[in-house]
Amino acid sequence: MNVNELLQQYAVGKRDFIQVNLHQAQLSWAKLAEVNLTRAVLTKAQLNGVNLHQAILRNADLAGANLIDADLSGADLRGADLSAAILMRANLTGANLTGANLRWASLVNAIPADINLTGVRLSRTILPSGAPSNTQV
């Protein structure tokens, strides 16, 4: 499946795109709220400004993805690989990152005050200065 097919199917109401391979896809500013991308391959994808509000991205591969200004509020990112992803200014409010891999990721201006990072791999992650003191790691 390519990006155009996904967007066309989403536009007519399809929400399940489990295990879709969108390596290096250009989806910047796409509106994909509530989409199911469980185990999807989105390595090095351009996802800046994408709306993934309440999306299911469980065990998705987002390594090296550009998620600048992305809306990931309420997203299920359990077990997702976000290694080396750029999440600057991404909205992670209410996102579930349990067991996610954020090694080498950039989270500058992306961490809400109440985020729980229990079980998240954060080695070499770029966190904002003054990260919330109640952030759990």
pTM score, whole prediction = 0.86
CB 17 within 8 A of CB 1: yes
R_g of the chain computed on alpha carbons? 14
CB 101 within 8 A of CB 125: no
Residue-wise pLDDT tens digits, 54-78: 999 999 999 999 999 999 999 999 9
pLDDT-based confidence at residue 107 (cuts at 50, 70, 90): confident
Complete domains list, the chain, with CATH: 17-128 (2.160.20.80)
pLDDT tier, 27 (very low <50, low <70, confident <90, very high otherwise) = very high
Q: How far apart are CA 54 and CA 70, in angstroms?
A: 12
